[in-house]
Structure 1
Amino acid sequence: MKYPHLFEPLKVNQMIIKNRIISAPLGSLTDKSISGIGMIIRGTSGCVPDGRSRMAPGPYCFEDMIQSTKVREQVSIIRQRGAKAEFELCHVGQYAKVAPGDYAIGPVGFIREDGTEVKAMDETMMNEVADAFAKGAMDAKEYDFDMVMLHFGHGWLPTQFLSPHFNKRTDAYGGSFENRIKFPKMIVERVRKAVGPDYPLDMRISLNEYIEDGTDTQEIIRFIQHIEDKIDMVHVSCGLERELSAMTKMTTSPYFPHMVNTKYSKIVKEAVHIPVAVVGAIMTPEEAEGIIANKEADAIVVGRQIIADPFWTKKVWEDKTEDIVPCLRCLNCYNMYAREKDKHYGMKSITCCSVNPRYLHEDRVPVKLSKAEHKKKVYVIGGGPAGCKAALTAYERGHDVIIMEKEDHLGGQLYCSEFDESKQDLKRYKDYLIRQIEKSDIEVRYHCDATKCKEELKHADSIIVAVGAQPVVPHIKGIDQPHVMNALYAYEHQTEIKEHVVIVGGGSVGTELAKLLAKQKKKVTIVEYQKQLCSNLNEHVRMGLLQQLSMSGDIDILLESECKEIHSNMIIVETKDGIKTIYADTVIISVGMKSRRDIANEFYGIVQDTNIIGDANRPATVAEATHDGYYVSASL
């Protein structure tokens, strides 16, 4: 077996988990429950019988037979192929969404930015909450969950008492370490007494809060040791949910490394005698196997990668890892805007998976497409992500598929991932698409200009146009000089980039390129017309990119500024403070993309069934490209 450590059973209290793979409480239960996974954590929705415990309004999940029946069905789904079912208990404390006029609770009293009062908990409140945790655990046990997880991480109520960042009390529950752990210990002890000694009890906790005056890592380890006799496993995470700068460490974006928490799980494992699980950007089976083999943890917890491919475990077990759909860590599935459902933030607020159209659309997207009644000849014009996905989906439907690609490679704009190590997740997806096409009978024609093949295209049953987009060329005097290039060209021709670089445009592409070049010790200036960089990204991803940018090297940023002229060794910039001259021996233009509609429209009128998808229709994200490609072919 290629991954022997990953598929060893694990004993937790009296329970045996059949392998070391645990699903984080994210996404649908349906597919991953039949994948052979070891355990699945059911999320926090309505888990504690306290109306002030939740991020969103709703009933206690065991409140009545209607709610309880839903939970029992979840247990049944989870356990249908031998996975253990874990129930997450969470109280969000001061962050609770409460009815108008009601209050939230926490270690200290204050008025939140939204006007909600947070009341400092007295001992009566503490006992009520501890009892609520115990009741939630008992109800979970009664409804046949195999284990309960106490969520003591990510800034929720127990953390708010543990952490000096939140806990400013001066009584017996604040100040010293011994005082700050009293209430969290009360919860653990109350739950253990309720469920008995033989029922498995887990605890998730943040080893590093990544915030000023947060709990010291060694104190967290001491706390775990204090309650080690009451719990059976500890689940190591990091960061905080509601503090944006720390949220980037809790749920990492593509700009951070993989396996971000294993350095913490390793030191916990060395300090305790119970099993240790670790979560945090564990993306590949090689990474997962290495963590167990190197004794950095006893189990791995996978979240977004299992949303991208719910059959991850099955493919690893069957040694079909080349068929695993890689997660991009784009955070579209874990969308920070999704909590505020009564507000609208534009397309960036829509929850989805960039690489798995079935996520949240199980009623519309089957696990496997059926074969079409009539085989068709399908031409796909362009081999970017939209074109590749369209071709693969049409092929799955049983059609004969031909890709016409103008370049000497597939991947479209994803090809730039070859030239930036921080785009490792994007590169894995590009390679996955290409590998699936290579394994198929899809015909790929490179260096093929489809505009010159219109006679052949008349024999098509369907034409899918995925010719992509091209960089916008702004009207700037001097832009046609040899030391001026667009961002896509710059990625592929980094040897042509000299030492003093000006990037015109501070969207995500320009900022990512600035980060890359600054790490190469180049002097970089970003000139951005907007009031902030990366305004096209959601705040979570944007913050992560800016954090990495700040650590990359010598970068100047000019906001609310516009490049007016480019000379042989300098540019003229109009800033809000006046005209400025900047020395530059390389100028990179990164002001966005525009659809190749002029080319795309040429293919209309050849056959009736003609569709334009992806960037060719409008400049789009990988998610939109993938979904366009899937849906256009799924009904062919």
Structure 2
Amino acid sequence: MTDAMFPHLFRPLTIRGREIRNRIVSTGHDTCLPEHGLVNEAYIAYQEARAKGGAGLIVTQVAGVHETARYTSHLIMATTDDCIPGYAELARRCHRHGARVVSQLFHPGREIMESANGMLAVAYSASGTPNERFRNMPREMDAAMIAEITQGYADAAQRMYRAGLDGVELVASHGYLPAQFLNPRVNRRQDEYGGSDDNRLKFMADVLEAMRAATGDDFIIGLRISASEKDEAGLTNAETLAAAKGLGARIDYLSVTIGTSATIGGAVHIAPPMNFQAAYTAPEARAFKTALQVPVFITGRINQPQEAELVIARGEADGCGMTRALICDPEMPVKADQGRFDDIRACIGCNQACIHHFHRGLPISCIQHPETGRETVFGSHPVTTHPRKIMVIGGGPAGLKAAAVAAERGHHVTLFEAEPRLGGQALLAQLLPHRAEFGGIVTNLTRECALAGVTIRKNTRVDASLLHEFAPDAVVLATGATPYLPPFETDGEIRVATAWQILRREVKPGARVVVADWRADWIGPGVAEALARDGAGVDLAVNGLYMGEAMPFYVRDATAASLHRLGVRVTPYARLIGTFGDTVFLQHTASELPIEIEGVDMLVLSSGHLPFDGLRSEITALGIEYHGIGDCETPRTAEEAVYEGMLAGRAL
């Protein structure tokens, strides 16, 4: 099956004499799992799950090489020998499953997000060139500090070598310190580290040579770099390619990505949301693969093995970073190798529990697979010794996950859905612009139910009579929510619709629309964009600090770009008061002064939801054990719904 379907993806690759079993790479990504700056059991278990699932190469998250490298409060530090035992155990556990392990070595330069104590840190860079995104004004490194940091890279590499890892990867991507030295618009030095292309490359070359001298001939030393930083002041393809050529035999592989941490527009590419096409970065790698004599990897929205196979077959890269695909389904490589394509839980690019958790300082996970990042707690679901008859009411994400887990554990599970289709609100979410892939959560959870043996009855509304007739041992209530209609004054001149009605095309949109967005999440901006694309003039009035306040950063920023291009006017701090004539009246939530938007013919409400739990009293009256989950408890997001579904399935 592997040879027929994936003649390239599952072909081994040898780097520095070390064979990598396939071309699937879990690229370096922060997890917020390590504690106290050290690798811990939670992080080892996380990476071991991906090694066991068949990944060929695992690149561990960034490890700081100097005290000034602390760009977050939860960075792993490789500055003392204290790091060696954790890395040694991680390598041992991943090696026993056949994966190779490489650690990223890192200094952010001016790209510092936060400090451990809440105070602003002193940032250092090649020059005193300010950072736009984090608003850091860095100090220029002197020669002594450059030498100290160069030695820090070498010492960290030696510790990884002693720990038994297969190699290290110098992080020069996304505008971090090596890229700051390379970039002539950031590096304005006139000494041996600046003023010419060769001088700007010297820092990176010195670091690579120092790492090689500190390790062994069989130790892999790779480089990660952005082909293009996607910013006017960022590195260009030509500059990056010239640098890669100039480094020559100093590197054993090149891991290519795009974007920069330095700007909002460039940072979107660090974890591109579903606004971007699958494998959209792959053409960026072709020039590097053509010009270089070392293997080239590419990453960026490569979520399915079929996509990765095509990238390699087209000669764009030698391997594919499939990080979020492996966060969503650690067993994706094994399933693909066995031809179990329908069983792969495909990443939908929502960014909600992976990078969004990281940005909030929380351990990463996946909305579809809450076991991710919680391997030490939910590594497996215990098989029951007392199978029971379980009724799950509601076929949205919460009910589907509860049913799948309960059946996997050995219970006899029947799921009842009142509508002809499974999915609940996910069916609406996929109708928003750039959110079509969100429907994949329904496909994936439905498959989990099928594999576990869940009986599904659609077009069946449960009432007291059916409860009594079915006589379950326990009920999982997952009946979702309905739109909340807030009270406001109106004379009825302006038509009013809910976001649900707009998405379902139940009402004809107006030509001049105000979207009142209380949630400050995906729904209001999505509806506003949909209406604008249909030709309406749209104002988005957000009862929040800014549009998309509750959204993952990169999803928010990509959405902001779309709204701006479409001319949607965004008003923050806006509380809905009412309508009169053709005017929508709002109040500025900070100043309490009025805001008026005139010439309006439709008001669309994105005002949150009310729990729909009408069967709770009937279940209680019959004395049946029940577990309420998801929006029927209180409306939130798909992440909470699936997580609570998993907990309910385990609790039965």
What is the TM-score when the length of structure 2 is the normalising length?
A: 0.87
| Contact 2:69 2:109 (C-alpha < 8 Å) held by counterparts | yes
1:471 deviation in Å?
0.7
2:409 counterpart (373, 397, 403)? 397
- The 1:564/1:62 distance shift into structure 2, 3 A limit, reads closer
For residue 53 of structure 2, what is the aligned residue in structure 1? 35
Question: Residue 327 of structure 1 aligns to a residue in which SS?
Answer: coil
1:107 counterpart (108, 126, 130)? 126
Structure 2 alignment gaps of length 5 or more = 32-45
Q: 2:57 is aligned with what amino acid? A: M
| Contact 1:5 1:292 (C-alpha < 8 Å) held by counterparts | yes
* Equivalent residue runs for 1:194-209 within 5 Å: 194-195=214-215, 199-209=219-229
1:603 deviation in Å?
3.0
1:196 deviation in Å?
5.5
1:627 deviation in Å?
0.7
- The 1:115/1:222 distance shift into structure 2, 3 A limit, reads closer
- The 1:519/1:179 distance shift into structure 2, 3 A limit, reads farther
Q: Distance in 2 between matches of 1:596 and 1:233?
A: 54
1:533 counterpart (543, 547, 563)? 547
1:193 deviation in Å?
4.0
* Equivalent residue runs for 1:136-535 within 5 Å: 136-195=156-215, 199-241=219-261, 243-335=263-355, 338=358, 351-367=364-380, 369-420=381-432, 422-453=434-465, 455-456=467-468, 459-477=471-489, 484-493=496-505, 496-497=508-509, 499-505=511-517, 507=520, 508-535=522-549
Q: Distance in 2 between matches of 1:480 and 1:466?
A: 35
* Equivalent residue runs for 1:50-65 within 5 Å: 50-55=66-71, 56=73, 60-61=77-78, 63-64=80-81
Q: Distance in 2 between matches of 1:400 and 1:245?
A: 50
For residue 344 of structure 1, what is the aligned residue in structure 2? none
Deviates more, 1:472-481 or 1:87-96: 472-481
Q: Distance in 1 between matches of 2:428 and 2:356?
A: 28
Deviates more, 1:612-621 or 1:159-168: 159-168
1:333 deviation in Å?
4.4
Q: 1:293 is aligned with what amino acid? A: A
For residue 84 of structure 1, what is the aligned residue in structure 2? 100
1:227 deviation in Å?
0.7
Question: Residue 104 of structure 2 aligns to a residue in which SS?
Answer: strand
When the two chains are superposed, the root-mean-square deviation of aligned CA atoms in Å is: 3.2
Question: Residue 235 of structure 1 aligns to a residue in which SS?
Answer: strand
Q: Distance in 2 between matches of 1:364 and 1:464?
A: 22
1:178 deviation in Å?
3.4
| Contact 1:467 1:600 (C-alpha < 8 Å) held by counterparts | no
1:313 deviation in Å?
0.7
| Contact 2:528 2:568 (C-alpha < 8 Å) held by counterparts | yes
Does residue 20 of the first structure (1) align with residue 57 of the second (2)? no
List, as ranges, runs of 4+ consecutive aligned residues in structure 1 with deviation greater than 6 Å. Answer: 98-102, 110-117, 479-482
* Equivalent residue runs for 1:530-569 within 5 Å: 530-551=544-565, 553-565=566-578
Q: Distance in 2 between matches of 1:462 and 1:57?
A: 42
- Percent of counterpart pairs with the same letter? 25
Question: Residue 326 of structure 2 aligns to a residue in which SS?
Answer: helix
Q: Distance in 2 between matches of 1:114 and 1:268?
A: 31
2:621 counterpart (605, 611, 614)? 605
1:169 deviation in Å?
2.8
Structure 1 alignment gaps of length 5 or more = 342-348
Per-residue CA distance 1:163-214 (angstroms, 9 max, x = gap): 2453233444334433322212221233334446554321000122233411
1:502 deviation in Å?
3.1
Q: 1:633 is aligned with what amino acid? A: G
Q: Distance in 1 between matches of 2:492 and 2:553?
A: 35
| Contact 1:106 1:118 (C-alpha < 8 Å) held by counterparts | yes
Question: Residue 5 of structure 1 aligns to a residue in which SS?
Answer: coil
- The 1:151/1:111 distance shift into structure 2, 3 A limit, reads closer
For residue 7 of structure 1, what is the aligned residue in structure 2? 10
What is the TM-score when the length of structure 1 is the normalising length?
A: 0.89
Q: 2:68 is aligned with what amino acid? A: R
For residue 345 of structure 1, what is the aligned residue in structure 2? none
- The 1:439/1:164 distance shift into structure 2, 3 A limit, reads same
